[in-house]
Amino acid sequence: MATAKKPAAKKPAAKKPAAAKSTAKKPTAKKTAPKAATKAAPKAAPKATPKVSAKASAKASAKVSAKKPAAPAKAKAAAKKKPSKPEAPRRSALGFKVNEFVVYPAHGVGQITEIAVQEIAGMSLDLFVVSFDKEKMVLRVPLAKAKEIGMRKLADAKIMEGAIKTLKGRARVKRTMWSRRAQEYEAKINSGDLVAITEVVRDLFRNENQPEQSYSERQLYEKAIERMAREVATVEKTTDDEAIIKLEGILAKTTGGARRQPGVDPA
């Protein structure tokens, strides 16, 4: 019977697993602590975002305020650049002077009234302002194009002497179609070359003993004699009519008769 009671004495040892259970519950408490920390972290994040946005807005406002004074600064700089006094007008350029008479190939003799500055397509250009009183016309010629176009000074004594010598020469009429000759005459008239213009006057002159000209021939002759006479008159300081009388007098002596009047038959 004494051997049967020993198992009952071992009951207190069976309580050890319970103690083990209580110790096993302790880690669960530690695990819950991190969960609480993770839940609290998102609450702190929204508080940090307003601080960042506030800094950004402060920087943006600082940039805007820094840019605003730039406009007055530019205005002041522009005001400083503006000359207090108007610039003196130019009196000469490329060897040409204001109030000087020049020859513009397509229109003949004109006078430079001023050298002006004009803004075209955002660029400032220096221009010769050339006036043609008889045609009541004004041209504005860029300085950079004046030489290219062929604008020149009045003929000097040597060139004038060569033109008069050409006028006294014998007419040279080519045996070609009139339309082709007319184009050549027109090109000579608009070349601005005084000697070339004189050749047209000489070749198209008709005296009272010669056949009558066609209308187109008379038109070209009138254009050439007027262009030549105006330069001669300007050089010699006479009128255009006086210059025409002088030139046609030379032609009359060369051809042996006065100029034939349009529509008048020789006697």
118: nearest Cα among 128, 107, 109: 128
pLDDT tens digit string along 87-116?
Answer: 677 888 889 999 999 999 999 999 999 999
Tell whether the model's pLDDT for residue 56 goes beyond 60.
no
Q: Which residue's entry shows tokens 């002159």?
A: 205
* Per-residue confidence band for 118, with pLDDT thresholds at 50, 70 and 90: confident
Separation between Cα atoms, residue 189 and residue 225, nearest integer Å: 10
Contacts of residue 99, defined as CB under 8 A and 6 or more positions apart, other chains included, come to 111, 112, 113
Q: What is the model's pLDDT at position 80?
A: 57
More confident residue, 36 or 142: 142
Can you give the pLDDT at residue 135? 87
% of the chain beyond a pLDDT of 90: 47
How much is the pLDDT for 82? 55
Cβ 224 vs Cβ 197: under 8 Å: yes
Domains of the chain with bracketed CATH: 92-153 (2.40.10.170), 157-255 (1.20.58.1290)
Estimate to the nearest angstrom the gap between the alpha carbon of 202 and the chain centroid.
43
Q: Model's pTM, two decimal places?
A: 0.64
What integer pLDDT is reported at residue 61 of this predicted model?
52
Is residue 46 predicted with pLDDT exceeding 90? no
- Closest by CA to 92, choosing from 66, 115, 65, 124, is 115
**What are the C-alpha distances in Å from 161 to residues 48, 113, 133, 151, 165?**
99, 29, 27, 21, 6
